[in-house]
Structure 1
Amino acid sequence: MTVDAALVQLDLAGKVRLLTGASFFSFTGDEAIGLTPIAMSDGPSGVKGQSQSGGAPAALLPNATALASTWDEQLLADVGRFLAEDAQRNRTHVVLGPTINLHRSPLGGRVFECFSEDPLLTGRLAASYVRGLQDQGVGACLKHLVGNEAETDRHTVDVRIDEATLREVYLLPFEIAVADADAWLLMAAYNRVDGVPATEHDRVLNQVVKGEWGYAGLVVSDFFATHSTAPAITGGLDVVLPGPFGPWGQQLVAAVEAGEVSPAVVDAAVRRVLLLAERVGALGTPREWPEVPGADDPARTAQLREWAAAGMTVLRNDGALPLAAGTRVALAGLPATETLLMGGGSAEVSPPHQVSVLDGLTAALGPAVTWAGGVQLGSTPPAARPGFVVDPVDGTPGVRLQVVGADGRPLVDEHLADSRRVVGWGGELAGPGTRVRLTARVDHTGPLQLGVVGLGSWTVTAGDQRATVQVDPVTGVPGESLLAPPHRVADLAVDGPVEVTAEVDLGDLEHAMVGLVARPAPVPDADAIAAAASAAAGADVAVVVVGLTAEQETESRDKTTLALPGAQDALVEAVAATARRTVVVVNAATPVLMPWLDRVDAVLVAGLPGQEGGHAVAAALLGELEPAGRLVTTWPAADGASPAWSVTPTDGVLTYAEGAFVGHRGHAAGHAPAPAAWFGAGLGYGSWDYREASVDTAGPTPVVTATIANTSTRDSREVVQVYLQPADPARPVRLVGWRAAVVPAGATAQVTVTCDPRVLRRWDGAGWVAEDRGELMLARGLGDIRLRLPLG
């Protein structure tokens, strides 16, 4: 059935019914017109299916900044195809991603889920990702439109952005992904923009997106972001998520009947829903779902490992990397054993396995690796490591989850491979008196930290020991119990194999994340530092893994500092003072402060590298795969030393006072001190000579041609970056194009970069004006400019 034929068969109530979701993760269907319910999944790091957690295992990809650090549009298209296969396996029509807000402030809690601080890089990588998904008939949803660059008070904050900055910077990634890939959905954000809720922003949604851009796709709300009836639908919103509740339904029918909403507006929204259904195979004959490999398929696993290594970035290397075969390594730092492989919130998935850096290096080097311990991070891991806990029922790594109703009736009894999941989707939290119980076997002797993920007053037991663990809200933000639930532990001591439990009455909560935390209690920091320094002195190389915690890299809350938590800086300093050579691996998606940078031999930024993270780190350190990444965010030298810093609204308002001078643009203009590491920086394992360049301005946009030489003894990948310094010094420098090349050792290559016209313009209040005069700079990041060419 065609879209037009389906539309004419619907009465007003039938049309309106299609404009609110049927559930958390589906659109409403209608058998009478052959409309199958459209299934959605959260998805930037993997496709979990129609649940927040606890579903079938899903492949866990490297996080968005790690993938973007490849600066590789083809790789992002391959990522889209990979995710489309996972969506097909889960019978999912739409993946809610990519997230293409910008890295305005490095404090943003959701920076890990967004590609970069630059609108051109973000937009073009997003377009490739979208094409990869949609070429397989799976819809992509660009989010969150617009000004959603921080988590603090995200449901209520009024973001103030001047018109030129809005268009030149924050709308630009969406514009590019719409123009270049025709993304089938856009998601309107929680926040207000210049006083108007993003879900009813006529100027953005109707005038710009649907008007100027000619966007034919579907505009949906973020979950629970819609608070009005007529203003939202007349302001450009097409569908309210989730469902079946919300401010539309019968209220929208009444608004149409009262003349507050034109029937034509409803028809236009329904038409967009039906167009999406047609595109994803949900209108007419239901689509056939192909058989695709599982989440643990060896070929797919190898691909995840390669992608993770490709995005890793070498910030310093004084000859320490790559490690030679047979190198004796002293490995230190708690993130080596509790490697953070994904960010928190809606981006989380349940992977089939998770490989820590210790696991990966040990697999690669065997007994040459000595575990030297690490300091506490001021936080506990968000869940027990499956290798440390075993389900007492089936004996497999993981935890047993049981939910029991107030009447004693069992509602859930299942295995959790990753020790946590959301309960409540199936109505199992039937009301007060419903209890959740998590159980595991632990083979450990000595001090034990036993605790929980999730709100409530928990009772934890280990053998005959018992403690109460009280977990209260940290932010009070709606959805905290699902997206960023706090975790707390009690200190116990056990002797040998023991059964551990955690139990709670969740009271009035309808949905909640619950999980078990169990790990050996860390030794005191002073003892850990002394042990690591001693081990480092006896090894060829010390590898110290430092990083952020799950409470810092998460949706629903922002950071307050870029400093590494705990005594990690002291650990690095102590190891560097005794080791022959020291390599620091940064297990973080967002910038961290590195006060020890000049006293270590190498720094590798690993990001949040996904389920194959440990193997990928090992391959990168050993040079089996080149860590050829380039930074996608400027790393400030100190807290506050960036053009945009605060993410905390004042009287409900967050003003983007830096305008278009975000990130490297502001640093280059002197609006902030020189950074510790520039946007675009990354050494890889090659060395490069830029020999000559020219610019051709005869065509519609400048084309730069450069000759580069790989002067190293290794084949390597270079990313030639081209920036414009406008003739007007009051205008910001900006990335205008890039091109990568893999060049054999000792060889030269000619690289051609076509400048993108969408960054060779400025908004003057009435329209776009060309800004194509100034100087083009060829660079390896703005801190390493190699050649300059006049333009105009």
Structure 2
Amino acid sequence: MTERSVTAGLSEELRPEGLRRQERLLEQLGLEDKVALLTGETAFTLPGNDTIGLAPLAFSDGPTGVRGLKFIGGDPVALFPNATLISGSWDDDIAEEVGRMLSEEAHRQKIHVVLGPTINLHRTPLGGRLFEAYSEDPYLTGRSAAAYVRGMQANGTAACLKHLVANESETLRNFVDSRLSETALREVYLLPFEMAVDDAGAWSMMAAYNDINGVTATEQDHVQNDIVKSEWAWDGLIMSDWFATKRTVESANGGLDLVMPGPEGPWGERLFAAVRRGDVSEATVDEHLARLLLLAERTGGLRPASGEETNGFKTGMPAPDSPERKEQLRRIASRGMVLLKNEGDVLPLSEEGPLALLGRHAIATQAMGGGSAQVNPPYVSTIAEALTDRVGERLTVLDGVGVRKRPVPALTGFVTDPVTGEQGMRVTYLNAEGAEIASRHEDGAAITVGWDDDFSEMPTAVIFAARLGNHAGAVWLGGIGVGTWTISTDAGVLGQRNLPITGFDPAEAMLRPPSYTEAFELPAGAVVSVRLDFAPVDWAAKLAGNPALNLSEESHLLTTGSFGSVALVAQQDARTDEEAIAAAEEAACAAGTAVVVVGLTEEDETEMSDKQTLALPGRQDELVLRVAATATRTVVVVNAATPVLMPWLDDVDAVLIAGLPGQEGGNAVADVLTGAEEPTGRLVTSYPTADGASPAWNVTPGPDFGLEYTDGTAIGYRGYHAGNAPAPLFWFGHGLGYGSWEYGSARLLPPEAGGGAVVEVDITNTGTRASRETVQLYFLPAEEGQPVRLAGYAGSRVETGETAAVRVGCDGRLFRRWDEAENAWKPLNDGELIIARGLGDVRARLPLG
């Protein structure tokens, strides 16, 4: 076993001959105390140590909001626009502002480390977790990430780059082996991490679930030690993704610094024993702990050398529903929205005449994706509410077709606590003997069990009690969660169903639990009792049944225990899809102008699950086509972060991509539709014309769990440009805004120090209003086999009729290639610079070299 000393891979700041406060602190601790600090104490906290002045550190999920220490519920927190809207602004100032705002949210909740940004790439449009990540392009991703990190860490909160590395799909995510060349690894998938380290000094990273070329991410000596810590001279900390660590010695020697969550895990006593055996050197443990102490020092969690008590958290932060926060979230969401089509300038909407607003997403606007990115916002502005506020009685609002396969938790307006009468439900927790552990009111209809409980013993059953709303007739009742569900009233048992775990991911019970519903005829105001008896899963036996998974008994996956998300389902009957479409046709015909809102839900854009198609769920495409056939003008708003198919594109007048716009989403969309704000966003991912028509598509590993990255470095638009797939429906970088642009002369200027080429181009706003343009600069190397790549961009706001000279500097890291034979970078000096509004709208070309 290769031993690494405490100095291996460390920058001068951490080396013993430097200012080494960390080393002096380590001398005060015995091995057992050191090891104890390298595994989480709870789901989202680390233990402290009074001897060295180390406070307990708190982590929180954070890509779209700083949720805090509770997975479900908890205090309300600000819900941000999703990552594609942040990067979709193509504006470093926006990304940096988001980082600063998230840090303020962290300070308000006493969080040291925010688990974000997610900087994996949109390799295939089927990826379920793409909504958390910025783009298909490594440079746009890295630049957005660096700005985000700067904003966050300048305010004293640590960012955590995730997930290291080649973690672009969710199918069998704990076991998939991402197989890619060293060239693709270096040039594409590591580039965003490298940029966030070099340009922003990120303080932590998270190792992924997947394997990379046969070695699991938490044991990746090549990536973690050789590249990140040594080549990049990075002094930050690498933590595991939650339950991702599979072996003790290999992960400790492979560069992992911290195992999460706790208190169970593969380190602890096993790591202590490994050091005693000589399989892991104590110097390696010291390196891990030195990095942890530096992280604590940077975030205010380590007492300074003076011995003074310190509290690194700032006070007076804006509330999540404060006017300041509302303005920020609304503006940021609108800036990232992308106008794909606008025939006849149908947008902004006319200030006169009737309008019809149609679709389920109009009245239940999807503000966020699923999984660990979910937060508990103080409110969510819907498009229906916001547009009604703008145009008043001119607007007719109608629900649309169904958009989900699974039921959702009961609406709090439909269920009340039968004990207190408050909106929500009564939850009673039982132990193995059937005795009551606790009984309490819950504001919502969903809880977690076994994850962030404060019970002295683990519940084995929960009972949801709820009084139904004043509705007589058919009611759908059931639950979401693993185990046996029993539905009862005073009259006795109405129904029962067992819901087992179906896959190989221990997080299924938390992130994608099964569901059950059944229709019952009940009187108005009936009180129902819905009981869930948990069915603990023996993960050791389940996973051992598939030897290809190659899990040791040390795997953290086997210590996950019984936990999960559970919820009460109680719904009234709704009208049929056909009735909804017919009503929409009638309203569209009467109004003349129809706005149809379609999209995806957290079933589609979520952690732990990939999509199978880019088609909109249900009969949404049919809704659009039939409305477009009757309306005079049709605007489609797509409430989704990732590409969808558009079989109706030629039949509608305008298409706006609204993403997952956060708690101010409805207001932001209404601002854009009415012209109060311009949708200045540009696409961050190419939209294919059909399922399968993209350079990379498959997300399902083979029988040996291998997933081949056959697209190499020609990811996304690079592959389309190379002819590896049919031309996309819309290119990466496309976006119209409310201006029109004429490009004049383009000039090649002397390169900036340490950078690449610099281009200056004249742009004229030929539209009728002030507008923002994003000038994109691509580099097409002359060397055979090298794909085109985005190398720089700059935005400029220009008044109508005015001309601006926009200077775009290229990033030198895009003018190199990895030479596998020599294991080194080689320059790319010759080729062509392409000035464009996306590669589907090229405006000028300049030779280089």
TM tier, smaller:
over 0.9
Whether the 8 Å CA contact 2:252–2:284 is kept in 1: the answer is: yes
8 Å CA contact 1:62–1:304 kept in 2: the answer is yes
- State how far apart, in whole Å, the 2-side matches of 1:473 and 1:103 are: 29
- The corresponding residue for 1:14 is 33
Aligned to 1:717, the other structure's residue is in SS state strand
Is residue 760 of structure 1 aligned with residue 815 of structure 2? yes
| Mapping for residues 135-146 of structure 1, pairs under 5 Å | 135-146=154-165
1:119-518 to structure 2, matched below 5 A, reads 119-284=138-303, 285-289=309-313, 290-318=315-343, 319-380=345-406, 382-387=408-413, 389-390=415-416, 398-405=424-431, 406-417=433-444, 419-424=445-450, 425-428=452-455, 430-431=457-458, 433-437=460-464, 439=466, 441-444=468-471, 447-460=474-487, 466-468=494-496, 470-492=498-520, 499=527, 502-508=530-536, 510-518=562-570
Distance, in Å, in 1 between the alignment partners of 2:361 and 2:239 is 38
CA shift, 1:331, in A, is 1.7
Q: Which moved more, 1:222-231 or 1:35-44?
A: 222-231
Deviates more, 1:49-58 or 1:670-679: 49-58
In the alignment, is the contact (CA less than 8 A) between 2:299 and 2:312 conserved in 1?
no
1:685 is displaced (CA, Å) by 1.0
Equivalent residue, structure 2, for 1:663: 716
2:694–2:726 CA contact under 8 A, matched in 1 = yes
Q: Distance in 2 between matches of 1:216 and 1:438?
A: 52
Residues 42-84 of structure 1: CA deviation (Å, up to 9, x unaligned): 1111111112122111111111112211111111111111111
Change (3 A) 1:791 1:449: farther
Q: Secondary structure at the match of 1:209?
A: helix
2:9 corresponds to: none
**Residue identity (%):** 51
Match status 1:774 vs 2:823: no
Cα distance in 1 for partners of 2:764, 2:528 equals 60
Query: Structure 1 residues 722, 505: CA separation in 2 closer, same or farther (over 3 Å shift)?
Result: same
SS in 1 for 2:195: helix
CA–CA separation in structure 2 for the residues paired with 1:261 and 1:715: 63
Provide the C-alpha distance between the structure 2 equivalents of 1:694 and 1:573, rounded to a whole number of angstroms: 46
Distance of 1:631 and 1:532 partners within structure 2: 30
Tell me how far apart the structure 2 counterparts of residues 429 and 654 of structure 1 sit (CA, whole Å).
43
Shift of 1:438: 5.2
Q: Report the alpha carbon displacement of residue 391 of structure 1 after superposing the two structures with TM.
A: 5.1
Distance 1:383 1:714, change over 3 A: farther
Instruction: Pick the aligned partner of 1:633 from 685, 692, 712.
Output: 685
Structure 2 residue matching 1:167: 3-state secondary structure = helix
Asked if structure 2 preserves the Cα contact closer than 8 Å seen for 1:627 and 1:684, the reply is: yes
CA contact (8 A) 2:437 2:459 kept: no
| Cα deviation, residue 283, structure 1 | 0.8
Unaligned runs of 5+ in 1: none
Deviation at 1:363, TM superposition (A): 2.4
Give how far 1:341 is off: 1.1
Match of 2:5 in 1: none
Summarize deviations over 1:423-457 as a string: whole Å, max 9, x none: 22225494564323153543446654444332233
Bigger mean CA offset, 368-377 vs 570-579: 368-377
Measured after TM superposition, the shift of residue 32 of structure 1 is 1.2
Q: Which residue of 634, 646, 653 corresponds with 1:582?
A: 634
Measure the CA separation in 1 of the matches of 2:497 and 2:249. 46
Picking from 74, 77, 84, the partner of 1:58 is 77
Q: Is the CA contact 1:475–1:557 (under 8 Å) kept in the aligned structure 2?
A: no
Higher mean C-alpha displacement, 203-212 vs 294-303: 294-303
* Whole-Å separation in 2 of the counterparts to 1:136 and 1:699: 29
CA positional deviation for 1:388: 5.0
Deviation at 1:515, TM superposition (A): 2.0
CA shift for structure 1 position 421: 2.8
Q: State the shift of 1:493 in Å.
A: 5.2
The 1:447–1:742 alpha-carbon spacing in structure 2 relative to 1, beyond 3 Å, is: farther
Secondary structure at 1:749 match in 2: strand
- Give 2:636's aligned amino acid: V
Q: Contact 1:382–1:550 at 8 Å: present in 2 too?
A: no
CA separation of 1:540 and 1:76: change in aligned 2, threshold 3 A: same
- Report deviation, 1:38: 0.6
Cα deviation, residue 769, structure 1:
1.1
| Secondary structure at the counterpart of residue 346 of structure 1 | helix
Give CA-to-partner distance per residue, 1:80-101, whole Å, 9 cap, x none. 1111111111111011111110
Superposition deviation, residue 470 in structure 1: 4.9
Q: Give the aligned partner of residue 555 of structure 2.
A: none
RMSD of aligned Cα (Å): 2.1
Shift of 1:492: 4.2
1:116 aligned to which of 121, 128, 135 = 135
Deviation track 1:703-754 (CA, whole Å, cap 9, x = no partner) reads: 1111111111111111111111111242111100101111112222111110
Kept after mapping to 2: 8 A contact 1:687/1:712: yes
Structure 1 residues 362, 443: closer, same or farther in 2, change over 3 A?
farther
Post-superposition offset of 1:698: 4.6
Q: Against the structure 1 CA distance between its residues 429 and 588, is the aligned structure 2 distance closer, same or farther, given a 3 Å change threshold?
A: farther
Output aligned runs, 1:688-767, within 5 Å. 688-700=741-753, 701-765=756-820, 766-767=823-824
Partner of 1:647: 699
Q: 1:598 to 1:136 in 2, by over 3 A?
A: same
1:346-381 deviation line (CA, Å, top 9, x unaligned): 111111112222222222222222123311224245
Q: What is the letter of the counterpart of residue 685 of structure 1?
A: Y
Q: Distance in 2 between matches of 1:113 and 1:392?
A: 39
Distance in 2 between the 1:119 and 1:95 partners? 22
Q: Which residue of 1 aligns with 2:592?
A: 540
Distance, in Å, in 1 between the alignment partners of 2:415 and 2:800 is 47
- The whole-number CA distance in structure 2 between the counterparts of 1:355 and 1:90 is 23
- Relative to structure 1, is the Cα distance of residues 24 and 677 closer, same or farther in structure 2, using a 3 angstrom cutoff? same
TM-score w.r.t. length of structure 1: 0.96
Give TM-score scaled by structure 2 length. 0.90
Q: Pick closer, same or farther for the CA change 1:367–1:175 going to 2, 3 Å.
A: same
- Indicate whether 1:528 and 2:580 are aligned: yes
Equivalent of residue 620 in structure 2, options 557, 564, 568: 568
The Cα offsets for residues 2-47 of structure 1, whole Å up to 9 and x where unpaired, read as: 3233111011111111111111101221111111011101111111
Q: Deviations over 1:679-703 (max 9, x none)?
A: 1111111111111211114544211
The code of the aligned residue for 2:156 comes to G
Any unmatched runs of 5+ in structure 2?
1-19, 304-308, 537-560
User: In structure 2, what is the Cα distance between the partners aligned to 1:591 and 1:34?
Assistant: 49
1: CA distance, partners of 2:334 / 2:787? 32
CA contact (8 A) 1:438 1:516 kept: no
Deviations 1:247-272 (A, max 9, x none): 11122122222221122111111110
Instruction: Tell whether the 8 Å contact from 1:19 to 1:240 is kept in structure 2 after alignment.
Output: yes
- Give the 3-state SS of the residue equivalent to 2:385 in structure 1: helix
Q: Is the 8 A contact 1:81 1:133 kept in 2?
A: yes
Q: Is the 1:305–1:613 contact (alpha carbons within 8 Å) kept by the matching residues of 2?
A: yes
Aligned match of 2:57: 38
